[in-house]
Chain A
């Protein structure tokens, strides 16, 4: 197990270096000079430009610049935003909890609804419910979620007035950011009004972001359950006279869960792609919204740093999924 773990962790290093190389290239593929971009509309004299280029090491050969960039990244320096003049690291860390909170709630929504729906469809295979679920999940998986989000706002916020249109919490409330997770911070602030407001702001974006995962989880649970329900040990369990709910939930679902959990773990990339759109629609102050803003403002250090940090996060989650999976299923270690 230890050897497998070390090998798997060691494999991540070259991938990460390649990722940093890609994000390094990014800045150099952008038309124009970063110094010129930074000097803005007023322009800059050629002498000053040369001076600054030398100061930032932009006149050195590309490979040396890359080595320098690697050293910077290794020491945790991801540069400064051109717009806010804040460290990219700090900006990212301030916004990241909002994205994580939204994503976790979206996944919870997908699992809490998707698992029982998938199980019921598998148990009642071939019924109207089963076909209905297959149909709805195909539609869900094809959903343009930027449109779905706007429709949800139109229906639930504008027409029915159930939820707020945008943001993380009402303007009336101020909650000291301790963890960055609004729900937890509200809980500790002992202000029930703030809690309700935060929860009401979270519901709609979480449902919108959770729609595609819901479709995937429901479909995956259904097919995994169908496979498991045909196994011999299920027949044995039934023959022993166990009640049907016990057979389905304890014996079948437990084994059907393994592929479902893997699919959920590997959905982190899809989820972050969805978060970009969901956060933009709901003005949710997370990293997805921030990345789009940074791209539109041509804030290249932020784009570069954000890209790197998000990729690193995805790699870590994938590593976690791999390790958990191999822990559950020892055959995969070789």
Chain B
């Protein structure tokens, strides 16, 4: 432990120092901020509207290739839409997908996990068992089947991915809540007459947040990846929505003679997923006192 003399290191600054030492995590954060800025200001930054078709420019190559033009920096697709603009609007969509999926999954998972930990007994067994059953299915397969029931579309795809991610949040919340429940401060609050709901959400939950935040960040990455995979299989966002996976599905017929319709949407997915993974790994290392040096 550091000696507390005149200046006391606050936990925030200690956290930031150990986070900033991780160059990958800082890079991830920087990319995330750029993506958020692009998403927020998409209508200002994007040179064209995402679904605007330029009928004189089908499959125009990127600006630096012969035949390319500065008007369409990353080229156009088979119906003459500007790829750069679609990617920028796609960032908005991907971040919304990530936020919505993680929001739904984290919300329900937290409630289920806390309920399992507090109720114990049969309720606990039932919830744990149910999550085990969900985990038996390969995640993408389960998501595909759920979409098959609900019907293809972006909203249903997000719901499916949220269901698939539910076990990780539920188990994590349950495990951390169980270890908190054994502590004295919980017993003290209970003895002071706090209601169960107050204990769950005001006393225990705030102390379980660190692992949940890390899992949410990493979940953001896999939500974007899974939603893009569903879009690619034709089960997620439907054309002409500028979703990156759906764009790749549309590129299937042309990619052998127009590499740019394939390369850029995939790179966008990769860079975004990578940014969230790097950031999540950095958060985990910075929040985990055992790893902190």
Give residues in A with beta carbon < 8 Å to B: 14-15, 18-19, 22, 26, 29-31, 135, 138-139, 141-144, 146-148, 150-151, 154, 158, 269-270, 272-274, 276-277, 280, 288, 291-292, 295-296, 298, 303, 307, 310-311, 314-315, 318
Contact A147 B149 (CB under 8 A): no
Given contacts A26-B145, A269-B138, contact A147 B266 (CB under 8 A): yes
A272 touches which of B24, B141, B225 (Cβ 8 Å): B141
Smallest CB-CB separation from A295: which chain B residue?
B148
Contact B136 A150 (CB under 8 A): no
CA distance A171 to B136 in the complex (A): 37
Residues of B within 8 A of A303 (CB): 145, 148
Residues of A within 8 A of B130 (CB): 18
Contact A314 B281 (CB under 8 A): no
Is B16 in contact with chain A by the CB < 8 A criterion?
Answer: no
Smallest CB-CB separation from A23: which chain B residue?
B145
Is B228 in contact with chain A by the CB < 8 A criterion?
Answer: yes
User: Shortest distance in angstroms between B274's beta carbon and chain A's nearest beta carbon?
Assistant: 4
Residues of A within 8 A of B24 (CB): 135, 138
Interface of B: prevailing SS: helix
Contact residues of B between 138 and 170, Cβ < 8 Å to A: 138-141, 144-145, 147-149, 151
Contact A146 B262 (CB under 8 A): no
B278 touches which of A138, A269, A276, A298 (Cβ 8 Å): A138
CA distance A315 to B258 in the complex (A): 43
CA distance A18 to B273 in the complex (A): 33
Contact B232 A277 (CB under 8 A): yes
CA distance A138 to B274 in the complex (A): 7
A-B contact pairs, 27 of them (CB 8 A): A19-B137, A138-B277, A138-B278, A138-B281, A142-B270, A142-B273, A144-B245, A147-B265, A147-B270, A151-B263, A154-B255, A158-B256, A269-B139, A272-B141, A273-B138, A273-B141, A276-B141, A276-B233, A277-B229, A277-B233, A291-B144, A295-B144, A295-B145, A296-B234, A307-B137, A314-B138, A315-B136
Residues of A within 8 A of B255 (CB): 150, 154
B217-235 to A contact mask, C-beta < 8 Å, 1/0: 0000100010011001111
Given contacts A151-B266, A292-B233, contact A15 B145 (CB under 8 A): no
Nearest 4 interchain pairs by C-beta: A147-B266, A273-B140, A272-B138, A142-B274
Smallest CB-CB separation from B137: which chain A residue?
A311
Smallest CB-CB separation from A144: which chain B residue?
B269
Contact B225 A144 (CB under 8 A): yes
Contact B137 A310 (CB under 8 A): yes
Contact B145 A151 (CB under 8 A): no
